[in-house]
Homo-oligomer: A and B are copies of this chain.
Amino acid sequence: MRITRAQSEQNKARVLETAVRLFRERGFDGAGVAEVMREAGMTHGGFYNHFESKEALEAEACAQIFEGAVAAIERVADAPERERSERLATYVRNYLSPRSRDAAGARCPMVAFGADVSRQGPDVQDAYAEGLARYLDAMARALGSPAEAARGEAIDLLVRLVGALSLARSVGRTDPALSDAILQRTLEQFGR
């Protein structure tokens, strides 16, 4: 049943993509190797042809998730200067939207894995730390302030975004009024 090398790479990509989706929705420990493989349309035995272990998959998935998040904020950072603040406002508005809160898995890796990551293996923690550093750098550039002020402001903004979305998601079903208030209030505070 050997298949072409291209097909094999495509299969690996599909497994990784599936893992990204499932890990986002249920956390690293919430989706097993067998389920990821099944959802990717294969049997679980072949998993170890592509990944050394489940932790290796987790680490690659973590890096991949950050890839998307970093790219999104870099699109703001790399915009022409006159569009930057407007794009950043759009980014923040979208990040703190009810739609973002109600999505099955959080798009933001810090919200999806923040609490879990310190319980995972070293490879996952490394991928996470590297991703976060890159994210923060891009956010500092997106803020467009003088360099020495930008990092502090980026931390500020990041802390608020992550705190608000994390809290809003945690009571999204059980206390929607509070959940809305958290998003709303944090959005109003943006820029202050």
Tell me which residues across on chain B come within 8 A of A125, comparing CB atoms.
171, 173-174
Task: Give 1 or 0 for each of A109-120: 1 = CB within 8 Å of chain B CB.
Answer: 011111111110
Evaluate contact between B26 and A166: CB separation under 8 angstroms.
no
Size class of the A contact interface (CB-based, 8 Å): 35 or more
Evaluate contact between B116 and A114: CB separation under 8 angstroms.
no
Evaluate contact between A129 and B160: CB separation under 8 angstroms.
no
Evaluate contact between A178 and B128: CB separation under 8 angstroms.
no
A188 to B: closest C-beta gap in Å? 8
Evaluate contact between A156 and B115: CB separation under 8 angstroms.
no
Evaluate contact between B163 and A185: CB separation under 8 angstroms.
no
Q: Within 8 Å of chain B (Cβ to Cβ): is A170?
A: yes
Q: List 30 A-B contacts (CB under 8 A).
A: A26-B119, A110-B167, A113-B170, A114-B114, A114-B170, A115-B115, A115-B116, A115-B166, A115-B169, A118-B169, A118-B173, A125-B173, A128-B171, A132-B170, A132-B175, A133-B175, A136-B178, A155-B182, A156-B186, A156-B189, A158-B167, A159-B159, A159-B160, A159-B163, A159-B164, A159-B185, A160-B160, A161-B163, A162-B163, A163-B166
> Which 3 residue pairs spanning A and B have beta carbons closest together?
A163-B163, A129-B174, A159-B163
